[in-house]
Structure formats: structure tokens, C-alpha cells
Amino acid sequence: MPVEDATDGGIVERRRDPRIPQRHRTIQFSMRDETVDFSLQALSLRGASGSTPQPLRTGLAGAVLFEGGHSVPATVRWTRDRVSGLSFATPLPLDLLHAAPRKRQRAPAPRAPRYSVSRPATLICAGDRRFAVQICNISQGGMLIFGRPVLLPGHVVEIVCGAAPLLRCQVRWVRNGFAGLQFAEPISLEDFDERSRA
């Protein structure tokens, strides 16, 4: 990695490893109280150069966070404007050195609002076995139930509540008698509320 030349304040080349130019690849530099995007410009086994939203202080210690959660301790060796050079504490694994940039994943869609209820219902599972359960909350996409049936994530079940249409669901999780169910199709909460009281 380049280092500051004490004689004229410039940057001289003192590299032991070839640098690989990087384009459209952003990783993160994590410090004690903050993590910032680090847009890579070049990468080698023992260091990297890239730009950050704000200049990094020379000598700052932290960790570089690569794709897949791999973390490498690093120190800021030099900074010019918003471009910095980092030195890695250990050589970089070759798969990270030659990794292709990943497209940013879209943020997960916000979860549908849950509404607290207390409705008795019947859960029907394999073999037409029926169990009494209590609906604790509900949304357009699923519900939380409490009861004694033995369920496992992935099980397909059906819920009958009052005069509401039968609901086909998949078990998403089970814990301490509670289970989260996901509906096969979104429902109308107004319609369910009216019919489940019947």
C-alpha cells in the first residue's frame, strides 16, 4: 500500500503485492462507534484504497466488512480528501480478493400491521386432526395462535373461526405453545372480523 513520504509529504509506492482495480464494489469500514461505506478503488492481499463519505483519520483502527460478513482488522495508513489507504492486519483470503461486486439487496418489505384479538378457533392438521386454539393477533398475511397442537415449521394447516371462510396456512415458527402462521392468500381483516364473531 502507498505510505506517506516523510521527506516531501508525497505518496511513494511501497507495495509487496499487486493491486487489483475495483469498480462498483462497496464494502464497509467499521470503527468503534460508526460504520461507513468504503467504495473500493483498488485491493491487494494486504490492503485497499477507496473513498468514504467523510475523510478518515490517519492511524484510525477498525475492521473492513466484506460481502458475506467476513471481517478483516485494518488501519488507515493515509488519507487524501475522501480517499484513504487501508492496511490489513492479516492477508486477505483469495476468494475475497477476486470476488465480484454484489448488487445491493432490496430492503425487505415492511411487515403488515398486526391487530390484537382474542378469538377461539379450530386448527385442522394432517389426518383431519382438530385442536382448539386461541387467535392472539392477526394481519392480512398471517396470525399468531396459542394452543397445544404439536406443530413444526413448514406444516400446512387450516384454521376455522366462526363463520369466516376456512383459512389455509403454513406454520412459520413455533415457540412455547405459540405459533406463527402465514396465510396462503391475504385476507380482508374487516370481513374476517365480522364473520369470525358469528
On whether both 122 and 171 belong to a single domain, the answer is yes
Q: What is the structure's pLDDT at 75?
A: 94
Residue indicated by cell numbers 464494489: 25
pLDDT digit string (tens) for 149-181?
788 888 899 999 999 999 999 998 888 888 999
Rg of the chain, C-alpha, whole Å: 28
Residue 190 sits in a domain of what CATH number? Answer: 2.40.10.220
Hey, what's the torsion of the CAs at 178, 184, 189, 195, to 10 degrees? -90
Pairwise CA distance, residues 97 & 44, whole Å: 7
Asked if the structure places residue 104 within a domain, the reply is no
Contact between residue 39 and residue 49 where contact means Cβ atoms under 8 Å apart: no
Hey, what's the torsion of the CAs at 179, 182, 184, 187, to 10 degrees? 110
State which of 98-102, 104-108, 153-157 shows the largest mean pLDDT. Answer: 153-157
Domain that holds residue 133: 115-196
Asked if the structure places residue 28 within a domain, the reply is yes
Asked if the structure places residue 109 within a domain, the reply is no
Q: Please name which of 22, 50, 46 lies closest in space to residue 37, comparing C-alpha atoms.
A: 50
DSSP tag of 105 = P
Asked if the structure places residue 139 within a domain, the reply is yes
Cα angle 112, 118, 120 (rounded to 5 degrees) comes to: 115
Asked if pLDDT for residue 128 goes beyond 60, the answer is yes
On whether both 17 and 57 belong to a single domain, the answer is yes
On whether both 128 and 181 belong to a single domain, the answer is yes
Asked if pLDDT for residue 116 goes beyond 60, the answer is yes
On whether both 10 and 91 belong to a single domain, the answer is yes
Pairwise CA distance, residues 34 & 158, whole Å: 47
Asked if the structure places residue 108 within a domain, the reply is no
Buried-state track 116-140, b at ≥16 Cβ within 10 A, e below 16 = ebebebebbbeeeeebebebbebbe
In the chain, the number of structural domains is 2
On whether both 151 and 73 belong to a single domain, the answer is no
Asked if pLDDT for residue 91 goes beyond 60, the answer is yes
Pairwise CA distance, residues 32 & 79, whole Å: 19
Asked if the structure places residue 102 within a domain, the reply is no
On whether both 125 and 52 belong to a single domain, the answer is no
Amino acid at 119: R
DSSP states of 49-85: EEE-SSPPPTT-EEEEE-GGG-EEEEEEEEEETTEEE
Average pLDDT, the chain: 83
Asked if the structure places residue 105 within a domain, the reply is no
pLDDT band per the 50, 70, 90 thresholds, residue 197? confident
Residues in the chain: 198
pTM of the predicted structure, to 2 decimals:
0.46
Task: Return the number of other C-beta atoms located less than 10 Å from residue 48's C-beta.
Answer: 27
